Amino acid sequence: MNLISGDNLMNTGVLFRSGSLDDIDNTDRLPPVRTIVNLRRRTDPDFPGITNIQIAPLGEMNNYMVQTATFQDWIKRVLGCMSNESIYPALIHGAAGKDRTGIAVAVILSIIGFSKEDVVSEYMRSERVYGDEYIQRALDILAAGNCYADSVDIKTKLCRNLLIRN
């Protein structure tokens, strides 16, 4: 995000976004993390010295239908996890690292104060993304309702965990 925003705002080496870890068989192929946050229904392999946390989608959740109660319940679980300083450095991932994971990271980046343009630019770095329509619409809905950060505490904790100065 520092490269995208042009400012040195975010702690480096603290939060990583990825796709599936199914082909990873040892920690040498992972960034140096304390925790892996898996946003899929499928479980991850165990890696020595790394804590696995699974926050699977609820029901038949559509990743981009952010106004639904199902999405809201799920993202609150994700934000609760990500606001815990003991998990960092952390890798957050889904199957491809762009849909569910991209939305979750976009919400986090929005909460800690990055502009919509920077958040969309970060999302667009995902592999196999063919346009910004879905992320733009999701961010517009989230901003209109401010429904993802109903707790000042979550914002404060996320800022403390991820930003250089907060």
pTM: 0.86
pLDDT computed for residue 58 by the predictor: 81
pLDDT computed for residue 90 by the predictor: 97
Residue 92 structure tokens: 């957050």
- CA 144 to CA 12: how far, in whole Å? 30
Domain made up of 2-162: CATH architecture:
Alpha-Beta Complex (3.90)
Please list the rounded mean pLDDT of every run of 10 residues in the chain (166 residues).
69 91 90 96 93 90 76 89 96 82 88 87 72 72 58 84 80
pLDDT computed for residue 39 by the predictor: 94
pLDDT computed for residue 97 by the predictor: 67
pLDDT computed for residue 137 by the predictor: 76
Cα–Cα nearest to 80, from 16, 159, 157, 141: 157
Q: Residue 51: in which H helix or E strand, if any?
A: strand 51-54
